[in-house]
């Protein structure tokens, strides 16, 4: 199936080094309760309707040629800033394998840096196939507890942990991203357990980003006619406490990424 794309963001500075173009693929195997891009979850196009009845189509098919033409318009900016292209979503590694591998190969042939933003729920073969051409991975680890992962994302974390081990063994550059949800996964025991798992499995990580839960984008649920669940927003001192705890294990920890 040809992937649907719901956004192409030029001049992005939050999805890896330098100035980048981020391609947002539509479709994700998870249903995180806090997802601030609910329009990214279904693999098919949708319509969002605002309170004034204005309709907005979300998602359309692009060919690989179209994407290459779009993102290479900024090639000079990537060169000057040390940037490139980040493939995000939704979940890019759940998309059509042939399409994604062709896109990645053509970007790599032009020596454009490729970042992969992933929740880790993807076929291991896809992760392996893309590993050599990708420059770095922004890798979400939402819950080390499988029970919590299932409860809050709707899916198991088995593939997340396995694929993280695969990437680490293959010496991929990994930026690990931890969503911070007060009362759910920020307590000392959970953080300790997560760090011990990473250490026991010898996971090499370049940087850990703590991503505080926020409520931006939640109005999109209403536009899609869906219910939204709200969580507590973490306080600065809570985030600082988690950062200090993690720094006993890894040097390079940021709040906010």
Which residues are at the interface with ligand SF4 (CB under 6 A)? 28, 30-32, 35, 37, 40-41, 89-91, 119, 153
Pairing of strands 60-61, 55-58: unpaired
Residue 167 Cβ vs ligand SF4, minimum distance, rounded to whole Å? 17
Q: Phi and psi (nearest 5°) for 123?
A: -60, 135
Closest of 16, 59, 49 to residue 221, by C-alpha = 49
CA pair distance 77, 72, nearest whole angstrom:
10
CA pair distance 118, 64, nearest whole angstrom:
20
Residue 224 Cβ vs ligand SF4, minimum distance, rounded to whole Å? 13
CB nearer ligand SF4, residue 20 or residue 26: 26
Residue 208 Cβ vs ligand SF4, minimum distance, rounded to whole Å? 18
Residue 184 Cβ vs ligand SF4, minimum distance, rounded to whole Å? 14
Contact at 8 Å (CB) between 20 and 86? yes
Pairing of strands 136-140, 113-118: parallel
Residue 83 Cβ vs ligand SF4, minimum distance, rounded to whole Å? 22
CA pair distance 216, 199, nearest whole angstrom:
34
CB nearer ligand SF4, residue 90 or residue 234: 90
CB nearer ligand SF4, residue 112 or residue 220: 220
CB nearer ligand SF4, residue 51 or residue 227: 227
CB nearer ligand SF4, residue 84 or residue 120: 120
């Amino acid at each position: 199936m040809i992937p649907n794309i719901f956004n192409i963001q030029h001049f992005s500075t939050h999805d890896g080094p330098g100035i980048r173009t981020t391609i947002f693929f539509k479709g994700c195997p998870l249903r995180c309760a806090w997802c601030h891009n609910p329009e990214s979850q279904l693999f098919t196009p949708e319509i969002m309707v605002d309170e004034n009845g204005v309709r907005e189509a979300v998602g359309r098919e692009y060919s690989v040629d179209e994407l290459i033409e779009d993102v290479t318009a900024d090639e000079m900016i990537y060169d000057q800033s040390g940037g490139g292209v980040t493939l995000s979503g939704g979940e890019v590694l759940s998309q059509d394998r042939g399409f994604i591998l062709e896109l990645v190969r053509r970007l790599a042939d032009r020596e454009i840096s490729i970042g992969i933003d992933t929740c880790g729920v993807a076929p291991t073969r896809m992760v392996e196939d893309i590993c050599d051409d990708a420059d770095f991975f922004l890798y979400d680890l939402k819950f080390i507890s499988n029970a919590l992962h299932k409860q809050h994302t709707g899916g198991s974390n088995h593939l997340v942990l396995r694929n993280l081990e695969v990437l680490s063994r293959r010496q991929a550059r990994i930026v690990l991203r931890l969503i911070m949800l007060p009362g759910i996964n920020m307590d000392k025991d959970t953080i300790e357990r997560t760090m011990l798992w990473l250490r026991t499995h010898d996971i090499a990580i370049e940087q850990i980003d703590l991503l505080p839960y926020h409520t931006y984008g939640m109005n999109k649920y209403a536009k899609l006619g869906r219910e939204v669940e709200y969580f507590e927003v973490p306080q600065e001192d809570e985030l600082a406490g988690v950062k200090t705890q993690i720094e006993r294990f890894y040097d390079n920890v940021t709040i906010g990424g």
